[in-house]
Amino acid sequence: MKILIKNIKSLVQVEEKTRLKISGAEMKTLSCISNAWLAIEDDKIADFGEMKDFPGISDWSNLQVIDATGKLVFPSWCDSHTHIVYAGNREQEFVDRINGLSYEEIAKRGGGILNSAKKLQDASEDELFESAMKRIREVILQGTGAIEIKSGYGLSFEAELKMLRVIKRIKAIVPISVKATFLGAHAIPSGMTKEKHIENIINEMLPRIAEEKLADYCDVFCERNYFTKEETVKILSEANKYGIKGKVHAEQLSHSGGIEAGVKSNAISVDHLEFANENDISILKNSETMGTILPGAQFFLGLQNPPARKMIDAGLPIAIASDYNPGSCPSGNMNFMISLACINYKLTPEEAINGATINSAYAMGLSKTHGNIAIGKQANVFITKEIPNYAFIPYSFANNPVETIILNGQIFK
Ligand code: NIG
Ligand code: FE
């Protein structure tokens, strides 16, 4: 199967020599080709260039030609942080927050993550799978072509395994790339001490999860009333022993040392970062860990802005992800996340698009194969509706610019 997209108004995020991540001032540049063509063969990007240099078609067999006059072509968004396997919703907590309660106060009353954990206990594997597949379809239609999915609403051994098995089923069936993350350290299960829960994570869950190859990454919610930076390092260093790299929910509601713990554990990413400070920025500068912002969760919970602008100005890369989950961000629309990063954090459209493509691919270990238009990369791309330019995506906030989706070289229906 071959696809040729021709007359593309702008082919966005092209790289001849691809970088694994884009940092600092370089994030301001987004390479594009105007009036371009793109050739896809099987599931890979085969070639691209300017229409004026188009070599013509020598072999019409098995070829589908798409005319993209007036339209832009992008590499699919990479969403490196989601919790899309969950049961039920939490709109009552949303109303409670409107009426004055904070996220932390709701959690203290047994709401929050424990509320989702209770709902998940009662849901069957099939129910969880079906509802997560609906969300996957929804985000694919919004341009997402690679996604990370966390456990963490199970908390008990059995329920965490149930979640990870659902993620494994999703991985096997969906046309987008999926990475699985074990987030046993998301909260402390009710009726259990934190020490006991950490002991279970380390001595029971991690060995079994590693044996069944159920997780690509291990995550910890490093936060006051949840897990300390020392506990984060302890859990992630155990995961590292199985070759499972870390990720950290860091500095979301308070400064808790999650960035320091993540860098110390050689985590692939540290995410949220609302309370990151100057010292954290210098810690990140001496690391390979990707700072990831989740503009939807910050917006939905009304938290302070993360220092995203400062981080880029200090020379750091930044990734953007959705955090799609029932408590702090019930949306996985990456177009909207890009808008929020531009509107609220003053990222330029180029910076935000780099953040939601190559840098978010890096944050889930996929930047060798995803995140830009380059020969040999996975043919996960989308064609927009007729729009004037790429800045229109963050500008036209909360709309969906995506018209045609190609995943693994096939048009997604
Ligand atoms: O990324 N911060 C911790 N975990 C999730 C939200 C969890 C929830 O409220 O369900 C987050 O925001
Ligand atoms: Fe999260």
Q: What is the pLDDT of residues 226-276, one digit of tens each?
A: 999 999 999 999 999 999 999 999 999 999 999 999 999 999 999 999 999
Q: Average pLDDT for residues 114-119, to the nearest whole number?
A: 96
Q: Average pLDDT for residues 71-98, to the nearest whole number?
A: 98
Check if 152 has its Cβ closer than 6 Å to any atom of ligand 1.
no
Ligand 1 atom having least distance to the Cα of 103:
9
pLDDT of residue 97: 96
Give the three-class secondary structure for 407. strand
pLDDT of residue 178: 98
pLDDT of residue 16: 87
> Which ligand has the shortest distance to the CA of 116?
1
Confidence of residue 17 (pLDDT cuts 50, 70, 90): confident
Check if 113 has its Cβ closer than 6 Å to any atom of ligand 1.
yes
Q: Average pLDDT for residues 325-345, to the nearest whole number?
A: 98
pTM attached to this predicted model: 0.98
Give the three-class secondary structure for 247. strand
Report the separation in Å between the CA atom of 325 and the middle of ligand 1, taken as the mean of its atom positions: 7
What is the Cα–Cα distance from 73 to 321, expressed in whole angstroms? 20
Q: Average pLDDT for residues 22-50, to the nearest whole number?
A: 98
Check if 332 has its Cβ closer than 6 Å to any atom of ligand 1.
no
pLDDT of residue 115: 96
Ligand 1 atom having least distance to the Cα of 115:
10
Q: Is 328 within 8 Å of 103 (Cβ atoms)?
A: yes
In the chain, % of residues over pLDDT 90? 98
User: Is the pLDDT reported for residue 126 higher than 90?
Assistant: yes
Q: What are phi and psi of 88, to 5 degrees?
A: 70, -175
Find the length of the chain.
413
Q: Inter-axis angle of helices 125-141 and 157-173, to 10 degrees? A: 40
What is the Cα–Cα distance from 233 to 91, expressed in whole angstroms? 34
In eight-state DSSP terms, residue 202 is I
Check if 324 has its Cβ closer than 6 Å to any atom of ligand 1.
no
Check if 295 has its Cβ closer than 6 Å to any atom of ligand 1.
no
Report the separation in Å between the CA atom of 349 and the middle of ligand 2, taken as the mean of its atom positions: 24
> Which ligand has the shortest distance to the CA of 90?
1
Mean of the per-residue pLDDT values of the chain: 97
Ligand 1 atom having least distance to the Cα of 107:
9
What type of residue is 341?
A: A
What is the Cα–Cα distance from 182 to 202, expressed in whole angstroms? 12
**CA dist 19 → 14, 26, 367, 369, 389 (Å):** 11, 11, 8, 11, 24
pLDDT digits (tens, 9 = 90+) for 337-392: 999 999 999 999 999 999 999 999 999 999 999 999 999 999 999 999 999 999 99
Q: Is 375 within 8 Å of 17 (Cβ atoms)?
A: no
pLDDT of residue 282: 98
Report the separation in Å between the CA atom of 327 and the middle of ligand 1, taken as the mean of its atom positions: 6
Check if 252 has its Cβ closer than 6 Å to any atom of ligand 1.
yes
Ligand 1 atom having least distance to the Cα of 253:
2
Q: Which two tokens stand for residue 1?
A: 């199967």
pLDDT digits (tens, 9 = 90+) for 178-202: 999 999 999 999 999 999 999 999 9
How many helices (DSSP H) and strands (DSSP E) are in the chain?
Answer: 16, 16
pLDDT of residue 1: 86
Q: Average pLDDT for residues 29-41, to the nearest whole number?
A: 98
Residue nearest to atom 11 of ligand 1 (CA): 328
Check if 323 has its Cβ closer than 6 Å to any atom of ligand 1.
yes
Residue nearest to atom 8 of ligand 1 (CA): 327
> What dihedral do alpha carbons 188, 193, 194, 196 form, nearest 10°?
-110
Ligand 2 ion: nearby residues, β-carbon < 5 Å: 323
Report the separation in Å between the CA atom of 323 and the middle of ligand 2, taken as the mean of its atom positions: 5
Check if 328 has its Cβ closer than 6 Å to any atom of ligand 1.
yes
For the chain, the distance separating the N- and C-terminal CA atoms, rounded to the nearest angstrom, is 16
pLDDT digits (tens, 9 = 90+) for 2-11: 999 999 999 9
What is the Cα–Cα distance from 232 to 258, expressed in whole angstroms? 7
> Which ligand has the shortest distance to the CA of 81?
2
Nearest to 79 by CA among 295, 259, 302, 328: 295
pLDDT of residue 18: 84
Check if 82 has its Cβ closer than 6 Å to any atom of ligand 1.
no
Report the separation in Å between the CA atom of 316 and the middle of ligand 1, taken as the mean of its atom positions: 25
Check if 297 has its Cβ closer than 6 Å to any atom of ligand 1.
yes
Residue nearest to atom 12 of ligand 1 (CA): 328
Report the separation in Å between the CA atom of 406 and the middle of ligand 1, taken as the mean of its atom positions: 31
Report the separation in Å between the CA atom of 299 and the middle of ligand 2, taken as the mean of its atom positions: 14
pLDDT of residue 229: 98
